[in-house]
A and B are shown apart, each in its own frame.
Chain A
Amino acid sequence: MAINWFKYAAPTTFYGLAGKMIPFFAWPAAILFVIGLYIGFFVAPTDAVQSEAYRIIFLHVPASILSMFVYLIMAGYAALGLIFNTRLSSMMAQALAPTGALFAFISLWSGALWGKPMWGAWWVWDARLTSELILLFLYLGYIALHASIEDPRRADRASALLAIVGSVNVPIIYFSVKWWNTLHQGATIKMSGTSMQIAMQQAMFAVLAACWLYVIAITLARVRSIILEREANTQWVNDLPEVKQTNGRLS
């Protein structure tokens, strides 16, 4: 039996598939969020050094991990779109960017809220904080470039090139900032190297998995919108039951 491996690489078929897949990611995400945050806030013990304020890491760490990971996935999709000229890959890259920027922002915001009671300052020019901020700038540059080019094909290709250049530059930026920081010797406080308590680990992993599933669900939802927007003039979009319904209501 011949399998058409590329069947779902076409926006036409992927639109339906994505719609069916969203609940499978969205519901587990919601459930794991509740479980993870419940363990994090009510079950996990109070930290000996940082008291209650440490609990923000249950959101902060997953957000930071995903903000970096999403950039790599985005650049990967962008590269696929640029090399093989597949429309869906470019759409996926475009759909991932706002979520990545959101996580970078949450990571910075929650980090500032944690830093105030711990370090006594909202912002410290620590290597990680600085590189996270630059990562947010890279996301914003990507989104701005994509938004300012009218022709979607050119926008895809131009922003793909930017994402690839950015991903080559990310490690360079990270190490520059790290060395810059050690040269200046800022007032960084390192977290004590003790192993984490079991309940804390469970909470952290539950929220991480929840964020992960959320990223997948929201990206699929967004890519569906992008497909509809770009293919608005095609017959198959006009034949969709939800589109027909809306059109019928409008006319």
Chain B
Amino acid sequence: MNKLSLMGLFGLVVRRDLLLAMRRRADVLTTLIFFVMVVSLFPLGVGPEIDMLRKMASGVVWVAALLASMLSLPRMFSADYADGTLEQMMLAPQSLSVLVLGKIVAHWMLSGLPLALIAPVLGLQFDMSAPALWTLVLTLLLGTPVLSMIGAIGAALTLGLRGGGVLVSLLVLPLCIPVLIFGAGAVDAVTSGMSVASNMSLLGAFMLFALVFTPFVAAQALRISME
């Protein structure tokens, strides 16, 4: 039997997770609808003055994206854990970190990417300008992968615990604060006519930093939870 290459393994895991998600589309849609609903609730809560809404738009969208991605985190490993697939995956001779990275990427494509794509529509509700909308999408594209990656550690640590869903938010949200600050900050910078370069660079740096370390840490967390 020929050994699977790392890229082969990665592609296999991503394709498998996407296929499984496509069989149960409701899960993906729930996250998206939650995101849209939370963002739409804000004007109802704070009032319809368009000036104020325009000011808080980036923050509202980013906080809603953060909450929505927390919502889907427990699902990252739980189904595989419940039916024993995860145990088999960990017995495999290939690197567990790469496998976890595959699951993270699949999770991002199902939770982070749709949020980034639908965000401009929500931004229009808040009367955001065109450059601000573009920046918002770009920051979400850079930032939501970090949320999925940090979230993977939390999801792995809370695997199989009762009340895991709330606990994972409690663990992960404080760690995600830098992403929130610079994601929303970039959009604010555009609207106030400043350069977004620093915010974008920092977001990119977070993503690369997380890309290097989090799959390994999440793999260790899985080992701790599964022993």
Contacts and interface: CB of A to CB of B under 8 A. Distances in A.
Interface of A: 134, 137-138, 140-141, 144-145, 148-149, 154, 157-158, 161-162, 165-166, 168-169, 172-173, 176-177, 179-180, 183
B225 A158 contact: yes
A180 B221 contact: no
29 contacts: A134-B174, A141-B170, A144-B167, A144-B170, A145-B157, A145-B158, A148-B161, A148-B167, A154-B225, A154-B227, A157-B224, A161-B153, A161-B157, A161-B221, A161-B224, A165-B153, A165-B217, A169-B178, A172-B178, A173-B174, A173-B175, A173-B177, A173-B178, A176-B178, A176-B182, A177-B177, A180-B181, A183-B185, A183-B189
B181 A166 contact: no
A162 B171 contact: yes
Contacts of B188: 183
B7 to A, nearest CB: 27
Nearest to B164: A148
Contacts, number: 68
B162 interface: yes
B174 A158 contact: no
Secondary structure class of chain A's binding surface, majority of residues? helix
A173 B177 CA distance: 7
Of the candidates B167, B178, B182, B188, the one having the most CB atoms from chain A within 10 angstroms of its own CB is B178
Nearest to A138: B174
A101 to B, nearest CB: 13
Contacts of A154: 224-225, 227
Contacts of A172: 178, 206
A158 B221 contact: yes
B207 interface: no
Given A154-B225, A162-B157, A165-B153, A141 B220 contact: no
B174 A161 contact: no
B216 to A, nearest CB: 11
Nearest to B169: A141
A141 B171 contact: yes
